[in-house]
Structure 1
């Protein structure tokens, strides 16, 4: 159900099909020094998942990656955990007027989770502003749509599409996102801020987790931007 991958860090993977292609999506769960749970890109809150989460601790914070990624089931967490803080990425409150958000995320982590988790706003794209997170205790970088990683274990159709989108065995965004960057200098600065973290593992928004060597994988995946 939940896979422990590092110190106070777990992931949960579920199916996600887009235009007939299996992309998958990954939820990250971090146990804070204070004892509560920080849930990023929440998955569908099935009874089994709810039980698994409650065995780890109390869900206190629920965060998406962007206004497009990781918000689909946030209403389930609001209903199940009314005392939890629902966090929004830039632009998400307008996209989800059905939800009451407690805080809009920026570059500065809140002291309530800042001891364990850092964050950077990845800006400069035409329509996508995303939050990248760094979980210090497990040295894990958590991405959304700026970090696809389709490897050899993905379905054949997914691998073929990934090759066309230039994300086959590469950690980075699909080609259409690359071609629609509005401010390349800002986007580059955001990625360099992410690379300043001392991470080893990378949890991509879609695809396969990189359990070690993540720093080099991100450098290689963004060589078109950083060279």
Structure 2
């Protein structure tokens, strides 16, 4: 259910079908040095997953990557962990009026997790702002829909569609995202902010995790804007 990737860092990979291809989706769990868990892009809170999380510690923060990525099951975490804080990405509060959020994420990490996690708001797209996170102790960058990574381990149909979307064998967003960037300079600056971090591993929103060489992979995947 949860795979330990590094000290105090776990992932949960689940299937996700979209546009006729199996993309998969990844949840990331970080144990904070101050205690408690930071859950990014929460997965469906099954009994098995809840038991695994409870074994690790108390869920304190639950965060999506964007208003589209990683929010579908947040209500389950509100019910299961009433003391946990639900954090909204820009635009998510309007999209999910059924949820009460405890704050909105931006470029500046909260002091309660900033010792372990940094963050960048990737802006410049016409209608979507995404949060990229950086786990300092494990030198890991965590992305959402800005970071597809489909490789040879995916099913044939997924690889074929990924080639059409320009996300096969490289980290980055699909072609329709690129074509709807409103401010290239702002988007480029956001990606350069991500590349300013010292990281080796990349956990994408969809596809295969890059265990090493992640910084180079991100630079190559975004060469079209850099």
Same fold by TM-score greater than 0.5: yes
Provide the C-alpha distance between the structure 1 equivalents of 2:142 and 2:62, rounded to a whole number of angstroms: 14
Cα pair 2:118 2:135 within 8 Å, conserved = yes
Q: Any idea what the Cα deviations from partners look like across 1:43-94, whole Å, max 9, x if unmatched?
A: 0000000000011000000000000000000000000000001000000000
Which residue of 2 is the match for residue 94 of structure 1? Answer: 94
Which residue of 1 is the match for residue 44 of structure 2? Answer: 44
Cα pair 2:20 2:158 within 8 Å, conserved = no
- Using the TM superposition, give the Cα deviation of residue 183 of structure 1 relative to its aligned residue in structure 2, in angstroms: 0.3
Provide the C-alpha distance between the structure 1 equivalents of 2:54 and 2:12, rounded to a whole number of angstroms: 14
Which residue of 2 is the match for residue 69 of structure 1? Answer: 69
Which residue of 1 is the match for residue 218 of structure 2? Answer: 218
Which residue of 1 is the match for residue 8 of structure 2? Answer: 8
Which residue of 1 is the match for residue 122 of structure 2? Answer: 122
Across the aligned residues of Structure 1 and Structure 2, the Cα RMSD in angstroms comes to 0.5
Provide the C-alpha distance between the structure 1 equivalents of 2:132 and 2:205, rounded to a whole number of angstroms: 10
Which residue of 1 is the match for residue 23 of structure 2? Answer: 23
Provide the C-alpha distance between the structure 2 equivalents of 1:78 and 1:137, rounded to a whole number of angstroms: 28
Q: Give aligned pairs, total.
A: 226
Cα pair 2:66 2:89 within 8 Å, conserved = yes
- Using the TM superposition, give the Cα deviation of residue 15 of structure 1 relative to its aligned residue in structure 2, in angstroms: 0.9
Provide the C-alpha distance between the structure 1 equivalents of 2:191 and 2:109, rounded to a whole number of angstroms: 17
- Using the TM superposition, give the Cα deviation of residue 20 of structure 1 relative to its aligned residue in structure 2, in angstroms: 2.4
Could you tell me the TM-score, scaled by structure 2's length?
0.99
Unpaired runs of at least 5, structure 2: none
Could you tell me the TM-score, scaled by structure 1's length?
0.99
Provide the C-alpha distance between the structure 2 equivalents of 1:127 and 1:155, rounded to a whole number of angstroms: 30
Would you say 1:85 and 2:85 are equivalent positions? yes
Unpaired runs of at least 5, structure 1: none
- Using the TM superposition, give the Cα deviation of residue 7 of structure 1 relative to its aligned residue in structure 2, in angstroms: 1.6
- Using the TM superposition, give the Cα deviation of residue 184 of structure 1 relative to its aligned residue in structure 2, in angstroms: 0.3
Provide the C-alpha distance between the structure 2 equivalents of 1:152 and 1:35, rounded to a whole number of angstroms: 38
